[in-house]
Amino acid sequence: MSETSKRGVFGWLDDRFHLAPLVDYMRHKEVPVHRHSIWYYMGGVTLFLFIVQLFTGILLLMYYRPGAESAYESVRFLMNKVPFGWLFRAVHSWGANIFILFAFVHMFSTFFTRAYGRPRELTWVTGFVLLALGMGFGFSGYLLPWNELAFFATKVGTDIAGVLPVVGDAIKVFLRGGEDVTGATLIRFYAFHIALIPAIFTGILGVHLLFVQRQGMHEPEFVSRQPEGEKRTMAFFPNFLLRDLFVWLIVLNVLLFLAVFYPWELGLEADPFASAPQGIKPEWYFMFMFQTLKLIPAHVLGLEGEMLGVLVFMLAGLAWMLVPFWEIRTRATGRLKPMAVIGFLALGFIVIMTIVGYLV
């Protein structure tokens, strides 16, 4: 009876949307199995965490009241009076950080397995844009509770944008909605966080997933060199999807653990007239840039050090996004590959600067 009804519903939909070829495609889609297969799950986990953010974000939105006079109190109310409000806020805050972490892991695993190469250049580019937007999510969302640390971190962050030549000041004023970080900035960041960035992110994410589904999983070089008979694969549906689900459940458990045992603090309400507290630090994923800018001398080659640093980071980011188009290819095997060296240097730089940022 249920089988008939299932077939009936599917038949009804298939009749209108021609789903059968799509299902057939999914059924025949294969995922390579090898010693680096674990990295295939990183993108899925990032996607899962985005869904968690979306879900918890919508729940928070029901109580959050933007505005310098209401934001902090509404978050406080949400955390203390709304049933399970504390849980959703903690999951949202932790989820944001783990989301960025997995996005980084996903990006570096793609880089080191050289999955960005032809024909997946645009998948890499869209992925990089998604990471940048994800960091924009983090930066804009950080200010929303309107607490002291977020207020001053936003002040510092937008100040950094202001050092850019020619357009810096305009960008700063645009981000802040004026000369200073005020309630206008909060409203602006709120609009970025819940409307602008999600709209762009969702669109690009759709394209990114479409590319992944259309092109399938990348085979690392050592797998593609194997004879066809020796290559192992698994069906995307249901095998890989079930394994994806398995990892997602573990991540969900970890997320709940962190939310319950290490609830996200709200801190003190922002006071624009107070002096900045000691130890203003950005979110950990901005730390390597923040620390580097701190270490650059005030003037380098006659240029303002901070401005030079920001420009170098922008150029480095651009170069990283365009990696598939300038990749240094080597035929020799077994030797140190230049792209791997570049990758390790970039990763090492990020890790070391982040650690230094927290130790100093």
Partner 1 sequence: MSRKPFGVLLAWLALVVAGPVAAQDIPETLQNDQCIACHSDVGYLPDGLLLAGPHMRAELSCAGCHGGDNTTDDEEIAHAGTFRGVPDAASIPAFCGRCHSDLGFMRSYSPSASTDQVANYYTSVHGQKLRTGDTHVAQCASCHTAHAVLPASDARSSVHPMNVPALCNGCHGDAETMADYGIRTTQYRDYVGSVHGQALLEREDLGAPACNDCHGNHGAQPPGIESIEHVCGMCHVNNADYFSATGMARAFADEQLHACEECHGIHDVRKTFDAMVSTGDDSVCTTCHEEGDDGYAAADSMYAQLSALVAAQDSALAVTERVREIGMDDIEIGFLLRDAHESTIQARTLVHTFDPSRTAEATTVGLEKANEAIRIGHEEIGDFRFRRFGFGIATLLITILTIALFFKIREVERS
Residues lying near partner 1 in the complex (CB under 8 A) are found at 76, 79-81, 86-87, 234, 238-239, 242-243, 245-246, 249-250, 252-253, 256-257, 260-261, 263, 265
Q: Please identify which residue in the block is written with the tokens 């580097």.
A: 292
CB of 62: closest distance to partner 1 in angstroms? Answer: 19
CB of 41: closest distance to partner 1 in angstroms? Answer: 13
How buried is 69 (Cβ within 10 angstroms: 0-12 exposed, 13-18 middle, 19+ buried)?
A: exposed
CB of 83: closest distance to partner 1 in angstroms? Answer: 11
Q: Which is nearer to partner 1, 15 or 265 (CB)?
A: 265
Q: Which is nearer to partner 1, 107 or 259 (CB)?
A: 259
Tell me the two tokens of residue 305: 């050090």
Q: What is the dihedral of CA 133, 217, 112, 324, to 10 degrees?
A: -70
Q: Which is nearer to partner 1, 267 or 343 (CB)?
A: 267
CB of 76: closest distance to partner 1 in angstroms? Answer: 7
Q: Which is nearer to partner 1, 52 or 293 (CB)?
A: 52
Q: Which is nearer to partner 1, 234 or 347 (CB)?
A: 234
Q: Which is nearer to partner 1, 19 or 242 (CB)?
A: 242
CB of 113: closest distance to partner 1 in angstroms? Answer: 23
Strand 232-235 to 303-304 pairing: unpaired
CB of 331: closest distance to partner 1 in angstroms? Answer: 37
Whole-angstrom distance, CA of residue 34 vs CA of residue 219: 9
CB of 44: closest distance to partner 1 in angstroms? Answer: 14
CB of 253: closest distance to partner 1 in angstroms? Answer: 5
Tell me the two tokens of residue 249: 């459940």
Q: Which is nearer to partner 1, 73 or 180 (CB)?
A: 73
Question: In DSSP terms, which residues pair with 147 in a beta bridge?
Answer: 269
How buried is 347 (Cβ within 10 angstroms: 0-12 exposed, 13-18 middle, 19+ buried)?
A: middle
Q: Which is nearer to partner 1, 150 or 321 (CB)?
A: 150
Q: Please identify which residue in the block is written with the tokens 């209108």.
A: 16
How many C-beta neighbours within 10 Å does residue 47 have?
Answer: 21
Tell me the two tokens of residue 343: 């990758």
CB of 11: closest distance to partner 1 in angstroms? Answer: 25
Q: Which is nearer to partner 1, 25 or 257 (CB)?
A: 257
